Amino acid sequence: MKEISAGGVVFRKHGNEIHVQMIQDRYGKITLPKGKMEPGETVEQTALREILEETGIVGAIVEPIETITYQFTMSGVGLVDKEVHYFLVEATGGSLQAQVEEIRGVEWLHPLEAWHQQTHSGYGNNDSVLKKALHTLGYEVT
């Protein structure tokens, strides 16, 4: 079985500063907003819908960042091939509000703090996604 999801690294410009959005998932891990593609949607539409649903933020896609793939086992289904399309998304509206049915919290962070949280409390397969997004935003991290 194949499952396609999409999401993004959401940023906003706040005066001269840039903030990056990070969420805490239901397992307590730091991650990026994403979710499953619905019938008839493009990956871009999926990313923007999921960001809005999970975080309350309306966004506009700036550019694709990366597509990651991995496998996991789902009870009753077996092995699932997962494909996640990530985009760099600029916040254009809405208000920050966590979808408590899906995630524990969401916040705006300085890009270097977002990187710190990702590398210490996030999923390893998101490291390259966030690193590429931060590079595009003018931040170098290692």
DSSP string, the chain: -EEEEEEEEEEEEETTEEEEEEEEETTS-EE--EEEPPTT--HHHHHHHHHHHHH-EEEEEEEEEEEEEEEEEETTTEEEEEEEEEEEEEEEEE-----TTTEEEEEEE-HHHHHHHHHHHB-GGGHHHHHHHHHHTT----
pLDDT tens-digit readout, 14-27: 899 999 999 999 99
Could you please state the CATH topology (level 3) that the domain comprising 2-136 is classified under: Nucleoside Triphosphate Pyrophosphohydrolase (3.90.79)
**Residues in Cβ contact with 101 at an 8 Å cutoff, skipping those fewer than 6 apart:** none
pLDDT tens-digit readout, 6-63: 999 999 998 999 999 999 999 999 999 999 999 999 999 999 999 999 999 999 999 9
The domain locations on the chain are 2-136
Q: What is the Cα Rg of the chain in Å?
A: 14
Query: In the 8-state DSSP scheme, what is residue 38?
Result: P
How many other CB atoms sit within 10 Å of the CB of residue 78?
8
